Amino acid sequence: MLTHHAIRIEVENRGEVSALLERPANARQLLVLAHGAGAGMTHPFMESLSTELASLGVATLRYQFPFIEQRRRIPDAPGVLLSTVRAAVRAASQAAPDLPLFAGGKSMGGRMTSQAAAEGPLNGVRGLLFFGFPLHPPNRPGTTRAEHLAKVTVPMLFLQGTRDTFADLKLLRPICTELSPKATRHTINDADHSFHVPKSTGKTDLEVLHELVETVSSWAEEIQKK
């Protein structure tokens, strides 16, 4: 059985944003899940990801950033995004105090989560997950967006597609090596930034999604054992 609870989260000086807690009866962890820059928490990928994670015992708290809540296209200033991440983590710990916390998100949502964690530990969060870490703008290789990761004190899981134009793997691989043993990288062949794979691969997007959630579940279980 999967329960759904709509939540309102107060963000400092920005009013409230929407959130949705999805908790399976057998929940073992709770992932605070942020969306990317181009779509909110109800994007099909976010909804499918939450559903598949629930099937493996991972509850999720999806939430909106203020710019999506207010139907604006331009993302909020970094300070607002970071405040929203922290507020969502607090809300998650209050909504499910019995579950170990993890946090992260899709693209920008994951990067904002890591930046918040780099500024100071996120209360109770045991690890960070990145569904397509946006290392640089499309086809403009660079590594400055990863500089803050050295300040993160918890384990990190990078889930990346080999066709992701937001993260040149030739740049990301050595970054993860430098961050070892805190960083784990799982690469999905032929997947792009949205984790879509061409039909010519013989693999479906659903199969990719299953690979993502199974990797997340196994990694989170290992973190809990430590």
What is the pLDDT tens value at each position of the chain, 226 positions in all?
899 999 999 998 789 999 999 999 999 999 999 999 989 999 999 999 999 999 999 999 999 999 999 999 999 999 999 999 999 999 999 999 999 999 999 999 999 999 999 999 999 999 999 999 999 999 899 999 999 999 999 999 999 999 999 999 999 999 999 999 999 999 999 999 999 999 999 999 999 999 999 999 999 999 988 7
What are 64-69's contacts with CB under 8 Å, separation 24+? 64/17, 64/18, 64/19, 64/35, 64/40, 65/17, 65/34, 65/35, 65/40, 65/109, 66/11, 66/14, 66/15, 66/17, 68/35, 68/39, 68/40, 68/41, 69/16, 69/17, 69/18, 69/40
Answer yes or no: are the C-beta atoms of 169 and 186 closer than 8 Å.
no
- Token pair of 81, please? 């995004």
At 225 the pLDDT is 82
The DSSP string of 83-108 is HHHHHHHHHHHHH-TTS-EEEEEETH
At 139 the pLDDT is 83
At 12 the pLDDT is 86
At 30 the pLDDT is 98
CA distance 226 to 216: 16
Domain 2-225 CATH superfamily: Alpha/Beta hydrolase fold, catalytic domain (3.40.50.1820)
CA-based nearest residue to 23, from 59, 62, 61:
59
At 204 the pLDDT is 95
Report the amino acid identity of residue 8: R
Paired strand residues for 8: 18
At 57 the pLDDT is 97
CA distance 65 to 52: 23
Q: List helix spans (H) across 96-168.
A: 108-119
CA distance 92 to 100: 10
Name the percent of the chain in helix, strand, coil, to the closest 5. Answer: 40, 25, 35
Answer yes or no: are the C-beta atoms of 103 and 136 closer than 8 Å.
no
